[in-house]
Amino acid sequence: MAILYFEDAEVGQLRTAGPYLVSKDEIIEFAKKYDPQPFHIDEAAAVSSVFAGLTASGAHTFAIVICLLPRAQPYSLRILAGLGWDELRLPTPVRPGDELDLDVAVLERRESKSNSDRGIVRNQIHLRNQKREIVLQCINTVLVARRPVAKI
């Protein structure tokens, strides 16, 4: 897989990863530990909830994004550090049997004012289910290395 530097990141460039198959057992196991609400852990109770069925915790959906991100193809940015996450929305719940696909598009890049060896890249992230409904979207900002200058 190609490793790209800051200079190589072009607005609109796309990477993809998936599918990630979400099982009922995984939804329940995650939620029992971190988000034990009836509609995340109890199939019978979930039927009469606002979601009319078992759904994954939002923290679980975010963890799946983190899981898929390093697998995104066909290239990888030379990331130095994660700076943050913005505008995180969960418009459609994740349900058992969903197959989730990630796409990451370069939204913006700008040079670092303080360090000439790095730059800042903002990525638009979408996680979609098999119906192409967005289950999670957010903007991820990362610090990316510039291409090392060849020494003469």
Which parts of this chain interact with a second copy (CB under 8 A)?
30, 33-35, 37, 57-60, 62-67, 70, 82-90, 138
The smaller minimum CB distance to a second copy, of residues 6 and 20, is found at 20
| Residue pointed to by tokens 């040079």 | 111
At 104, list the tokens: 């990451």
The smaller minimum CB distance to a second copy, of residues 69 and 106, is found at 69
Least distance to a second copy, CB of residue 52, Å: 15
Q: Cα(4)–Cα(9) distance, rounded to whole angstroms?
A: 7
User: What kind and span of H or E run contains 19?
Assistant: strand 14-21
Least distance to a second copy, CB of residue 6, Å: 19
Phi, psi of 87 (to 5 degrees): 50, 45
The smaller minimum CB distance to a second copy, of residues 66 and 152, is found at 66
Which of the 8 DSSP states describes residue 22?
A: P
